[in-house]
Amino acid sequence: MTRTPIMAGNWKMNLDHLEAAHLVQSLAWNLTDVEHDYEAVEVVVVPPFTDIRTVQTLIEGDNLKIRYGAQDVSTHDEGAYTGEVSTSMLTKLGCSYVVVGHSERREYHGETNELVGRKAKKALDAGLTPIMCCGEALEVRKAGEHVSFVLAQIDAMLAGLSGEEVAKSVIAYEPIWAIGTGEVATPEDAQEVCGAIRGRIAELYDEGAAEAVRIQYGGSVKSSNVRDIMAKPDVDGALVGGASLKADEFTKIVTFTK
Ligand code: 13P
């Protein structure tokens, strides 16, 4: 099976809705210029909630093939949950994806693997594709326990999901020590963990699920390092933070095969 590479830009808490319109427009122009084949490499932007309506209007209005999603979602359907956003609110806005369990949400909002798994299930039930994040801190890596640590996260996050659900999901391996630090994992580091995740999914489910699930690497991805990372057999894409905020740089990342 050939998995379609997925390059996603996680804007985090950057860009207001006016800046969002500018970035998406610039990205779309760039990708039109280079005749980007969206079927060959999927392009996704993940703006803050307040930008999504603007991004939707632009993408639908101009019939762009860029997909988009949200950075988090509630496990609740509706009601007295101040500050939360439901899956149906996201699907109404045409979102395809939702990031769940980013390390920043785990660190600053106390999100656990169990909660992240429930968010992923909620997303899947609504027809959204979850991008489920995992990854170890520097101390864990230094202790040489990164593979077992990440596989324990995977076991706990996927506990409530079927093989079919996992097959259509995206998993993002983002070592915390490589996020926003300029300290990129080597292609071999990325492959070691992404390969182990795929192996674990084969054990937990079957080869079909393992072959289908797309696994991204994230952490200081740039146009200068993306090609070597993407050359690894179990890396199917990148979840890009800082470098996704610049249209020209993200264009180069998306068009890494050129
Ligand atoms: P950077 O690309 O800025 O290191 O961020 C990675 C990330 O956390 C994407 O979700």
Annotated active-site residue 36? The verdict is no
Q: Can you tell me the distance from the alpha carbon of 34 to that of 121, in angstroms, rounded to the nearest whole number?
A: 37
Q: Give the mean pLDDT of the chain.
A: 97
pLDDT digits (tens, 9 = 90+) for 179-210: 999 888 999 999 999 999 999 999 999 999 99
H or E element at residue 163: helix 163-167
Q: Whose CA is nearest to atom 2 of ligand 1?
A: 241
In the reported structure, the alpha carbon of residue 140 is separated from the centroid of ligand 1 by a whole-number distance in angstroms of 19
pLDDT at 224 over 90: yes
User: Are 6 and 221 spatial neighbours (Cβ–Cβ below 8 Å)?
Assistant: no
| pLDDT of 201 | 98
Average pLDDT over residues 89-108: 98
Q: pTM value?
A: 0.98
Catalytic residue chosen out of the listed positions 102, 111, 146, 192:
102
Q: Which residue has the tokens 């785990």?
A: 106
| pLDDT of 258 | 86
Average pLDDT over residues 169-184: 94
Annotated active-site residue 146? The verdict is no
241 within ligand 1 shell (Cβ under 6 A): yes
Q: Whose CA is nearest to atom 7 of ligand 1?
A: 241
